[in-house]
A and B are shown apart, each in its own frame.
Chain A
Amino acid sequence: KNQVEQSPQSLIILEGKNCTLQCNYTVSPFSNLRWYKQDTGRGPVSLTIMTFSENTKSNGRYTATLDADTKQSSLHITASQLSDSASYICVVSAGYQKVTFGIGTKLQVIP
């Protein structure tokens, strides 16, 4: 069964600090992995997309890593800002059509 598990479920950090969110998956055959940011009351917005051959990708202060051997990904947020407060969702695609969402990590950045 294709599954995507994220940890931690929730996280509170001080503004300016770094944090790392984890995503483990059992999706097969692996096609690509994405990280989305979902602000409260809004739709998810894409941050990064990585295929099998990519092991790191950055988008500003967001850096995603992928280890396709261990089926793990992480999203590292550098110098967090209050606007980073959101849910971060890991999404893994199997083959051409099957897309599996993680439940998300809720991040709260406090001053």
Chain B
Amino acid sequence: DTAVSQTPKYLVTQMGNDKSIKCEQNLGHDTMYWYKQDSKKFLKIMFSYNNKELIINETVPNRFSPKSPDKAHLNLHINSLELGDSAVYFCASSKGRGGSGNTIYFGEGSWLTVV
């Protein structure tokens, strides 16, 4: 059983398009995250939600909008895609907030390529 699942795994799209990546966790966790891993393999947090409430919103363009319909889902919508958005996007979840020492479980990643 997949703990944190995200779709699609691969996405190739043209500049200017709008796309969404969906994420679901079946671990009963109350905190979910979106991370971006760039070409240099550096993981950087984008957003974090705790019980559907936004608790971390790092400096990302407002073209990126997370949506959490319930605490088991955290979707990422990206408007007007740019070449620099090409990266791997990881969804993750934890019981409690990530800084508190709880294990953060990651999904398998979504490879976004903007052409």
Interface, chain A (partner B; CB < 8 A): 31-32, 34, 41-46, 49, 51, 87, 89, 93-99, 101, 103-104, 106
Q: How far is the CB of A45 from chain B (nearest CB, A)?
A: 7
Nearest to B42 among chain A residues (CB) is A103
> CB-CB < 8 A to A87: which residues of B?
41
Nearest to A87 among chain B residues (CB) is B41
Q: In this assembly, does B34 line the interface, its C-beta being within 8 Å of a C-beta of chain A?
A: no
Which size bracket describes the interface of B in this complex? Answer: 20 to 34
Q: How far is the CB of A30 from chain B (nearest CB, A)?
A: 11
In the complex with contacts A97-B56, A103-B41, A103-B42, A43-B99 CB distance below 8 A = no
Q: In this assembly, does B108 line the interface, its C-beta being within 8 Å of a C-beta of chain A?
A: yes
Q: In this assembly, does B73 line the interface, its C-beta being within 8 Å of a C-beta of chain A?
A: no
> CB-CB < 8 A to A51: which residues of B?
101
Please choose the segment from B12-20, B43-51, B75-83 that sits at the chain A interface, where 4 or more of its residues have CB less than 8 A away.
B43-51
Q: Is the CB of A99 within 8 A of B105?
A: no
> CB-CB < 8 A to B98: which residues of A?
93, 97, 99
3 nearest CB pairs, A to B: A43-B106, A93-B99, A101-B43
